Homo-oligomer: A and B are copies of this chain.
């Protein structure tokens, strides 16, 4: 068939003079062409309100197309409200207000400064404490367990998930943390979420405004940023050799205190039992005040067993335990959990029982992964791997920096803190690291109090992660670091 161009003549009740061009070679359906043609005529007020469109039969004849094409076009115009129909009479143009925007030039270009830059830090060497090593993750097992979940829990996958995460998954986590961390809880107390931050954010949002929240300083800078956005009074509390300064906590008397007792971030201090007892004795006497125990990397201990959690020692229902699979599995899986004492649980439930952020397939896979012993095996493998990396890193640092470095050798976690003798400032180091494409974090980044301490002029402290770097690149990275610092 050839394409048809038609000047529709104006005849009573049969529409207007107007050019319509059907391109049969166009990939667009004919009905869409007719639809667009009339839509444009109507929006541009080339056909007036109340005017009748040509009958389907007439237009089909004139254009040499099927009535079906015209019918589909008219149905779409009708559904969108460009035309209305009078039974057995035909289709008429709707009464539309003049569309202001139609005459506005599209000057609202997307601004350049909001454009995203190329992937950040590609091909850099990384001594970051943030990312992990995907090479050891048993993706095959994970996929196998997803398959199993698709078979066993198919019906549940079609539902909006439980707001705390599926019960069976929480039960598995409860059993696991009882064994590995001494945490005592019911599956009901566990809230699974996409990150410790988002869980704590929701918890805090159930509290009255302007509550006092204490946080370790130096500490977790992202948590600090989060708290700044909430309506709370943030109290950064300094550390002594045993972790957070207990006298200062007692004096500040915060409603919530966020701690990392298993491995203080970033200093690495493992809070000794003496400080734990002080804190637990104190909190057990405080009504409606809580400790948030952020157990972000407790699974990594080289040479000793895990340190039992604070939560397991507490009998006053004052500890909120937070765990995460970001470092033991993958950070991109976004699986964390928070274990609430009954009082806070009740409050959480009444506020967030229609909130759903967990991918069920992911959680069911986790369930099987733990149940079948793969999680324990994987952590053991990771510990061996990271222990080796850690030793190599420490050896390389000592060989290269010799007497100019002091390594705070706490055999835990995925990073170490070192003091290096140098006259360079933190800023100079970061500028030079940037030039040489080495990702490295200084302790300065984690100092939360407004007035950052004056740097000792002959020393810098660095937080050096070893999780993401390849073993073969460690020596190179240490050499780069040396070049940057001297």
Contact between A468 and B272 (Cβ–Cβ < 8 Å)?
A: no
In the bound complex, CA of A356 to CA of B345 (Å): 24
Residues of B within 8 A of A242 (CB): 81
Contact between A359 and B356 (Cβ–Cβ < 8 Å)?
A: no
* Interface residues in A89-123 (C-beta closer than 8 Å to B): 94-101, 104, 106, 108, 110-111, 114-116, 119
Residues of B within 8 A of A198 (CB): 355, 357
Contact between A96 and B274 (Cβ–Cβ < 8 Å)?
A: yes
Asked if A407 is at the interface (CB within 8 A of a chain B CB), the reply is no
* Surface stretch bound by B, among A7-15, A302-310, A457-465: A302-310
Asked if A229 is at the interface (CB within 8 A of a chain B CB), the reply is yes
In the bound complex, CA of A314 to CA of B197 (Å): 36
Contact between A195 and B357 (Cβ–Cβ < 8 Å)?
A: yes
Contact between B331 and A159 (Cβ–Cβ < 8 Å)?
A: yes
The residue on B at minimum CB distance from A133 is B158
The residue on B at minimum CB distance from A223 is B354
The residue on B at minimum CB distance from A353 is B225
In the bound complex, CA of A355 to CA of B202 (Å): 13
- Bitwise, A224-262 to B at CB < 8 A (1) or not (0) is 011001000000000000100000000000000000000
Asked if A316 is at the interface (CB within 8 A of a chain B CB), the reply is yes
Q: How many copies does the complex hold?
A: 2
* Interface residues in A120-167 (C-beta closer than 8 Å to B): 130-134, 137, 139, 143, 146-147, 150, 154-161, 167
Asked if A178 is at the interface (CB within 8 A of a chain B CB), the reply is no
The residue on B at minimum CB distance from A105 is B315
Contact between B79 and A304 (Cβ–Cβ < 8 Å)?
A: yes
Contact between B332 and A278 (Cβ–Cβ < 8 Å)?
A: no
Q: In whole Å, how far is A427's beta carbon from the nearest beta carbon of chain B?
A: 22
Contact between B76 and A108 (Cβ–Cβ < 8 Å)?
A: no
In the bound complex, CA of A154 to CA of B115 (Å): 25
In the bound complex, CA of A285 to CA of B195 (Å): 40
Name the one of B189, B308, B354, B361 contacting A333, with C-beta atoms under 8 angstroms.
B361
Asked if A176 is at the interface (CB within 8 A of a chain B CB), the reply is no
Contact between A273 and B81 (Cβ–Cβ < 8 Å)?
A: yes
Q: In whole Å, how far is A126's beta carbon from the nearest beta carbon of chain B?
A: 10
- Bitwise, A258-285 to B at CB < 8 A (1) or not (0) is 0000000000001111111110110011
Contact between B100 and A130 (Cβ–Cβ < 8 Å)?
A: no
Contact between A272 and B134 (Cβ–Cβ < 8 Å)?
A: no
Contact between B332 and A188 (Cβ–Cβ < 8 Å)?
A: no
In the bound complex, CA of A305 to CA of B34 (Å): 14
The residue on B at minimum CB distance from A189 is B110
Contact between B100 and A281 (Cβ–Cβ < 8 Å)?
A: yes
In the bound complex, CA of A398 to CA of B79 (Å): 24
Contact between A79 and B307 (Cβ–Cβ < 8 Å)?
A: yes
